[in-house]
Amino acid sequence: MHTSHRTRRPKKDAVQGPSAGFVADSPALSLAIHAPGQFGRVAIIDITPQAEDGVFPMRVELGETFDVSAQIFTEGRSTIGADAVLRTPHGRITQRLPMHCVNPGLDRWSVQLQAGEHSDAKPWQSDWPSIKRQLGNWSLTIEGWRDVYASWLHDARIKVAARDDIENTLQTGATILRRWAQSTDSGLHARNRRVLERAAETVADSGQDENARLAAADTPVIEQLHTTHPLREAVSTVSRPVHVQRPKSSFAAWYQFFPRSEGAHLDPETGEIVQGTLRSAVSGLERAAKEGFDVVYIPPIFPIGTTNRKGRDNALTAGAHDPGSPFGIGSELGGHDTVDPLLGTMDDFKTFCRRAHELGLEIALDFALQCSPDHPWVKEHPNWFLHKPDGSIAFAENPPKKYQDIYPIDFNEDMAGIERETERIMGLWIDAGVTIFRVDNPHTKPVRFWQDVIAAVTRKHPETLFLAEAFTRPGMMRALSYAGFTQSHCYFPWRNSKRDLSDYLPLTNGDAAFYQHNTFWPTTPDILTDYIRDNGVAGHAIRAVLAAMGSPSWGIYSGYELIENRQRAGYEEQAGNEKYEVKVRDWSKAEGSGIAELLTSLNAIRRRHPATTSYHNLSVLRTDDPNIIAFCRHTPAEFTATGKPDTLVVVVNLDGHNAHQSMVHLELGDYGLPTDQAIPMHDELTGRSFQWGWDNFVSLAPWCDVAHILSVEY
C-alpha cells in the first residue's frame, strides 16, 4: 500500500557521447492544476457515480462496499495506471487500491471500495463515539499516472526480438529502472531498491547478451513490484466527496406496529375494545426483537382531533367509540409535542424507548406535518394554513380523495417559523429516545423546507435518520434524498412480475442508490396489493424473501405474520384499516402460517452475510421460466470480516399456486468461482446442500419451497 502521495522528480540521466548535454528519458511531466476543470497530464473524466455535477456527494453506510469508475487516458499510446484513494474526514487514508481497465476501448477504469468497517453500534451504546468520529464527508481521490515501465517493457520486447535499435532501447530501460529505485512515491523498501538497481546495471551493460539484459528487467520479482509499488509519473488527481453515514442508514430491518393495538382487548362486560398503551406496547417491541428486526416504527402518538374525525375504513362519520386516525393530529390536549393521554405520558414513552434500546431496537417515530382542526397551531398560527376566500381553512385533498379531518400546512407566509417549530419538536422527541423520523408525505411540502430542517436537526443530532414516505415522481424522490432523507418508501409493492422485478432490482441496487435508498415493504397500512390478496401464505413468503434479499433495507407491517390480506372493496388497502380502528389480534395464531419463522430466518441470514448489506452488488441471473426470478449478491474476500468472499444466489418462484422449474445460469467467473468444478451450495432456508455449475436446474413449489437462498460454501 502506498503511503506517500507526492512524486519527487529523480535526478535526470545524461546520455554520454555525441549528444552529451541533451537530457534523455526524463520523467513524464506533471502538470499543476490551478483551477477546477483543468486537466492534468492524465485526463480523468466521467466519474461515476456523480449527481448534479458533483453538487451532492454520493452516500454510503459505514462499511458498505461500492463501485467507482471513470474514464482515464493520456495522449498517444502510452500505458497508464490508476489508483483510488479513500480518506476519512480527518484525512487518514483507509484504502488505496489499484483501478482496473474494464473497457479498454472506452478507457473505463473501475474499482470496488469500502468506507470503513461495518458496525451494528447503536447511538446509545458505549462504542458509539468511535463510530461517530468516522461519519461525515470522506474524500475519494482518483489518481491517474503514466506507467513508463510498462510502456517501455512492451516496446523493448518487440524491439529486442526484431533486433531494432536495441542499445537505445535498453539504455532507456536502465534509466527508468534507476528512476524507479530512487522514487519516494513508490514506497519501496531498501532491498527492493537494490533489486531494481542491480537490474538497471545489467540492462545498461552493453557487454552482455541483449536477451539477458532484457530478461534482467523482466522478472517475476520486478513484475510483483510493478503491481504493488509501481513507478508512477505525471500523477494527475481528481477528488470527490463521499458522505459516509451511520449504521442503519441503509442496511436496516424495520417493523411497524400501532401501540394502541398492542395489548388491546375486548371488555368482557361491554364488548367494546379497550385500546393498548405505551406500556402494553412493549409486547410489540419484544416480538420485533424476537423476529430479528432492528428498527421499530410507530405512527403518530399525539392527541387526535375530534372535529371531522374519521370512522372505520375512512368513513366520514365516526362512531361513538371510533378512535380516529392518528394522522389527524392535535386537540385541546396538545399537538405534535404531546403524548396522547390514551397511550400514556411522556415518561411512559421514554420508558418505552429505553426498553427498545435494551432489546437492541431503534425507535422511528412518524412525523406527519399536518393538523386536525383542533390543533393548537390553528389558533396560535392561523397564517400557517391556507384559507379559502370565505375565511375558512381548506382541508387536505387529493381529488377525488378528501381528508376532512386534516388541515395541510401552507408555507407561503412563515416557512422560517414552521422550520423552527419543526426543529424544536424533533429535538424534543430525540431527547426522549427517538433516533429516526419516518416523515409522512414529504413530497407535499417544499424540498427546501426539508433540506433546512434536516440540516439543522442533524447538526445537533448527527445520529438522526429520516425515512421518506414519498410515493411520487422520480425527480421528487431523488430531490428528497438530496435534501437529506436517508431512506425512502418506493414502488416495490407493485413490482410483482418477473419482468418488473428484473428491471426494478438493478434500479434499486444501482448507481441511483448512492443517493436514494429504497426500502422494500410488502405491505403497509395504506397498501395491500392484489398480489398479496390473491396468493395467500405463499404470496406472503414470496414477497418477504424478495424484500429482505432484494434491498439492504426492508420492512414488515404488523399483522403480516397473521396473513391479514382482506382488501377494502375497490381499494388496494386493508379492510378494517388500522389507521381508523384499534386491532385486536390473536398472536397465538401466528405460528400456523410459518411467516413469523420465515421473517426471523431472513433477518438472521441478512446478519450472517455481508453480501446483503450493499446497494451495489446485485446482478439478475438468466432463467428460462417466466415465473422464476434469480439474482446474485456478491462481496469479494477483501471486504468481508472472514477474509472469504460472500456469494448468495436467490431463486424465487413468483407463482403462489403452482410449481415451476427453470434452468438458472450462473456466470461463475464473474463471482470469482472456479469454472472447472462443481460449486457446493448451502440453502440458508432449509439447510440442504446442492452442487452448482454454469447452468442449474431448479424446481420450486409454493406448498414446499417458494425460494432458495443459496450461499457458496468455500
Is 580 known as a binding-site position?
A: yes
Strand order in the sheet with 100-103: 43-48, 65-73, 108-114, 100-103
Q: Which of 469, 564, 655, 684 is catalytic?
A: 469
Is 565 known as a binding-site position?
A: no
What is the rounded distance in angstroms from the CA atom of residue 43 to the CA atom of residue 425? 50
Within the chain, what is the greatest distance between any pair of CA atoms? 115
Is 617 known as a binding-site position?
A: no
Q: Which of 64, 107, 291, 440 is catalytic?
A: 440
CA angle, 390 then 394 then 400, to 5°: 120
Is 310 known as a binding-site position?
A: yes
Is residue 696 a contact partner of residue 664, using CB atoms and an 8 Å limit?
Answer: yes
Mapping DSSP onto H, E and C, the string for 446-496 reads CHHHHHHHHHHHHHHCCCCEEEEECCCCHHHHHHHHHHCCCEECCCHHHCC
In sequence order, which residues have a C-beta less than 8 Å from that of residue 41 and are 6 or more positions away? 28, 29, 30, 31, 74, 146, 234, 236
Assign 396 to helix, strand or coil. Answer: strand
Residues 2-6: contacts with CB within 8 Å, 24+ apart? Answer: 2/83, 2/96, 2/185, 2/186, 2/187, 2/229, 3/93, 3/187, 4/184, 4/185, 4/187, 5/85, 5/143, 5/185, 6/184, 6/185
Is 370 known as a binding-site position?
A: yes
DSSP symbol at 535: S
What is the rounded distance in angstroms from the CA atom of residue 360 to the CA atom of residue 278? 18
DSSP symbol at 628: E
Cell numbers given for 469: 414516505
The two beta strands, 396-398 and 370-371, are unpaired
- Phi-psi category of residue 487: left, alpha or beta, with phi > 0 → left and psi -120 to 50 → alpha: beta
Rounded to 10 deg, the angle between the 166-182 and 148-162 helix axes is 160
Residue 573 appears among annotated catalytic residues = no
400: cis peptide before it, omega within 30°?
yes
49: cis peptide before it, omega within 30°?
yes
Residue 362 appears among annotated catalytic residues = no
What is the rounded distance in angstroms from the CA atom of residue 10 to the CA atom of residue 536? 73
Is 441 known as a binding-site position?
A: yes
- Residue 600's nearest CA partner among 296, 381, 292, 155 is 292
Binding site feature residues: 310, 370, 405, 441, 579-580
Q: Which residues are catalytic?
A: 440, 469
Binding site feature residues for alpha-maltose 1-phosphate: 310, 370, 405, 441, 579-580
